[in-house]
Chain A
């Protein structure tokens, strides 16, 4: 039954597929990864309860295989958090883009 090419199978649903050995090297979290995790916890079930883990998991399954494969663990969690917050109307993609370029501009200014 376990047809690995079954199109009904989610790209995240990899149990039994050969993905090779797990890399046991544990790397230190980068500062932005800590910040993103802190924001997620503050907004999550233990904090403001704006979104729950299950929504974040669903967003990972919804972002599409190319993006999912491209992103590492913390990038996926950050992207899925953004997807849910946009879905709930806390901010729009456009507002996020505008804010990001504003900050990028400020950082470029500071480096001069």
Chain B
């Protein structure tokens, strides 16, 4: 496992909008969450998308965010969360 983060670590998703096939949804860019689990190492889909081998593999994390943090108008309970699978190159320590 090549990952830099461990469950419980606080991370921030990079806030950038480059062209091309990007696997981090728009709504979660720039948001801060907590590593829920390490999903494993996988060929980088952002390279596979253009016919390349996607190597070296990238570590994929499941990151948990508070819904009230993600959506400014969120009306549900404060305890609600959303989990998003995010590759390591989209994450910074926070």
Q: Which residues of A contact B (CB under 8 A)?
A: 1-2, 6, 8-10, 13, 15-16, 51-52, 54-55, 57-58, 61, 87-88
Contacts and interface: CB of A to CB of B under 8 A. Distances in A.
B39 interface: no
A58 B49 contact: yes
Interface string B5-31: 000000000010100111001111110
B48 A55 contact: yes
A112 to B, nearest CB: 44
Interface of B: 15, 17, 20-22, 25-30, 45-46, 48-51, 54, 71-72
B71 A61 contact: no
Contacts of A15: 25-28
Q: Which of B29, B45, B49 has the most CB of A within 10 A?
A: B49
A9 B21 contact: no
Nearest to A56: B49
Contacts of B20: 58
A1 B16 CA distance: 12
A10 B22 CA distance: 9
